[in-house]
Amino acid sequence: MASLKNPDNQNNSNNPASVAWITRLDRPITDQAAGAGPLAGLRFAIKDNIDLAGVPTTAACPGFAYTPTQHAHVVARLLAAGATALGKTNLDQFACGLNGTRSPYGPVPNSFDARFVSGGSSSGSAYLVATGEADFALGTDTAGSGRVPAGLNNLVGIKPSKGLLSARGVVPAAQSVDCVSILARTIGTALAVLHAAQGFDAADPFSRALALEQSPFPTRFRFGVPDTLAFFGDGAAAQAFDDAIARLVAMGGIRVTVDYAPLAEVAGLLYDSALVSERYAAVRAFFDDHEAEVIEPVRTILASGRKYSAADLVDAQIRLRTLAQRAAPMWDGIDLLLVPTAPTHYTIEAMQADPVVLNRNLGAYTNFVNLLDYAAISVPSSIRADGLPFGITLIGRCGADLQLADLGQRYHHASGLTLGATGQPLPMPVAVFTEAPPTPATVRVAVVGAHLSGMPLNFQLTERGATLAASTRTAPAYRLYALAGTVPPKPGMVRVNGAEGTAVEVEIWEMPIAQYGSFVALIPWPLGIGTLTLADGSAVQGFVCESMALAGAEDISHHGGWRNYMASRASSAINSGER
């Protein structure tokens, strides 16, 4: 059996690597039968709430420690894939915290500046990967414990869809939302670990056999940005997030503002409702007999779970489902959600002086994700002017793990950053999808009237998977008419000669070509599809009108477009007293 090195509770804070370990193995553990597996040659560290057979699991609470006889399911899979285990890492006690200072083994410092927190609760895992002591590490993530330390240390942090990786052999924090997370310096490494570690485990009550999306996001993807953003006075973080938005737009993204209120309310339920009782239940047998051995503020947080009744928990769960229903329509307008991984950095000294409020601030954009069953990945974004890293998190629906990794890898390489705190350059990107899926053939179609966004027939586009590509104008070669007797009201646009023409507002929609025929079949006479010339001189398929249908039609070209005309009609109706 491997010999052990157990730092005591007075870890030398002058040796950050020592503080990052709880148990460092003198002889790393390998699976001799693994041979040249897909992870051969990779060394990994294990958060010390995850079992490694023969090595104590402490959850950063010495009185709680036990020595398992079996590996956690995920550890066994990684060893079988050829990876080598180096030891067990420091964490916020019982994985209760996002800052890395709540441990009797000492606060883990940031890998870029030791005055600052590493983020937690997977603090030691992040430090050791960022500094190059391990190639990757396992963490856990219930409320952001794998993402926040990744974001604060210039790392990739994959928070998989719930149940994709088994949590058997993991000390629970809140078992129904716990995820084993992966920290690595590149998405390529993190993905290799994900593929080796995933798999249904019938012995884990929350394991699921998930079918992941196998196609990347569209070339013109839509990313949501919260309508309210808090950086707690950190201007450098606010600027870094603005830069991240600009980079995603340059990569083909379309920014969409989303209502953050239901997500923020979900985040608040984690500690301010009966849902916190799940944290107490996870360690109840130990906690009730050894409460004094749990450090503050973890002790107070766990103890708060005692005061709730079963009825309180049911009420909280119903409130969570209600908020989930409110949040769900957000996905109709976006492919993914973009948030700061952490909105600011704090020094260890500041965190220890105000451990609850500042910790809560670090989780401003993480706490809701697992409760709503989303997938997420934290990706390095920039190094701020003060030398501290800034990370973003890409969030998708359950099963979007590979889509997020694909976009995240492209984003990471666009950042120009080096690896963790090592200064080493990024390697070449890897193929995320085993087979590049065929790009669906599409056709661009210009709409001018009742099919515009928000108009009555727009659903005929969206139900066929069409997406808005641009809002623009035609060349000044058309006249626009309000056709008589159409329901709903429709315009007719005709091409004219010379100076008689004007530019008309249009929207360009991108539609799968397989859906195009059924769409055209819905178009009634006198309308049809022809070739339009846009203001930039390019040509596109779009709505045109038979000139013989213009008898009795009103020339509305001076309005510049159908939307302005309909607004003028509504205004006239109000002014004339119509109801």
* pLDDT of res. 14: 59
Which pLDDT band holds residue 317 (cuts at 50, 70, 90)?
A: very high
Which pLDDT band holds residue 438 (cuts at 50, 70, 90)?
A: low
47 is catalytic: yes
Number of H helices, E strands in the chain: 18, 22
State yes or no: pLDDT of 243 exceeds 50. Answer: yes
Higher-pLDDT residue of 239 and 541 is 239
* pLDDT of res. 435: 58
State yes or no: pLDDT of 184 exceeds 70. Answer: yes
Which pLDDT band holds residue 486 (cuts at 50, 70, 90)?
A: confident
Which pLDDT band holds residue 8 (cuts at 50, 70, 90)?
A: very low
d(CA 414, CA 416): 6
The average pLDDT across 525-536 equals 86
Tokens, residue 437: 């899926």
Which pLDDT band holds residue 7 (cuts at 50, 70, 90)?
A: very low
What is the overall mean pLDDT for the chain?
Answer: 92
Choosing from 47, 88, 159, 162, the catalytic residue is 47
Kindly list the structural domains of the chain, giving each domain's residue range(s) and its CATH number in brackets, ordered by start: 10-425 (3.90.1300.10), 442-575 (3.10.490.10)
Which pLDDT band holds residue 551 (cuts at 50, 70, 90)?
A: confident
307 is catalytic: no
Which pLDDT band holds residue 9 (cuts at 50, 70, 90)?
A: very low
* pLDDT of res. 70: 96
Q: Are 106 and 89 in contact (CB under 8 A)?
A: no
State yes or no: pLDDT of 469 exceeds 80. Answer: yes
Which pLDDT band holds residue 60 (cuts at 50, 70, 90)?
A: very high
State yes or no: pLDDT of 436 exceeds 60. Answer: no
The average pLDDT across 48-57 equals 98
162 is catalytic: no
The average pLDDT across 195-222 equals 94
Q: Are 319 and 90 in contact (CB under 8 A)?
A: no
State yes or no: pLDDT of 215 exceeds 60. Answer: yes
Choosing from 123, 145, 381, 382, the catalytic residue is 145
* pLDDT of res. 281: 95
* pLDDT of res. 2: 44
State yes or no: pLDDT of 186 exceeds 50. Answer: yes
Choosing from 111, 121, 122, 123, the catalytic residue is 121
Q: Are 478 and 501 in contact (CB under 8 A)?
A: yes
Q: Report CA 356 to chain centroid distance, whole Å.
A: 24
Q: Are 22 and 127 in contact (CB under 8 A)?
A: no
d(CA 443, CA 448): 16
Rg of the chain in Å (alpha carbons) = 28
Q: Are 445 and 465 in contact (CB under 8 A)?
A: no
**Bridge partners, 480 (sequence order):** 493
Q: Which of 432, 441, 444, 442 is nearest to 216 (CA)?
A: 432
* pLDDT of res. 395: 98
State yes or no: pLDDT of 550 exceeds 90. Answer: no
Q: Which of 338, 171, 364 is nearest to 266 (CA)?
A: 364
Which pLDDT band holds residue 548 (cuts at 50, 70, 90)?
A: confident
Q: Report CA 528 to chain centroid distance, whole Å.
A: 42
The average pLDDT across 277-305 equals 96
Q: Are 152 and 110 in contact (CB under 8 A)?
A: yes
Which residue reads 């149940």 in tokens? 163
Residue 474's φ and ψ, nearest 5 degrees, are -80, 170
- In percent, the amount of the chain with pLDDT more than 90 equals 76
The average pLDDT across 208-228 equals 94
* pLDDT of res. 77: 95
The average pLDDT across 204-225 equals 94
State yes or no: pLDDT of 5 exceeds 60. Answer: no
d(CA 155, CA 263): 25
* pLDDT of res. 439: 54
Lowest mean pLDDT among 166-170, 193-197, 233-237, 556-560: 556-560
Looking at this protein, which amino acid is placed at residue 577? G
The average pLDDT across 51-55 equals 97
Q: Report CA 463 to chain centroid distance, whole Å.
A: 26
d(CA 131, CA 15): 13
Which pLDDT band holds residue 577 (cuts at 50, 70, 90)?
A: low
The average pLDDT across 230-254 equals 96
Tokens, residue 513: 């070509």
d(CA 147, CA 135): 17
Taking residue 259's Cβ as centre, other Cβ atoms within 10 Å add up to 15
Q: Which of 401, 556, 366, 374 is nearest to 480 (CA)?
A: 556
Higher-pLDDT residue of 36 and 322 is 322
* pLDDT of res. 462: 87
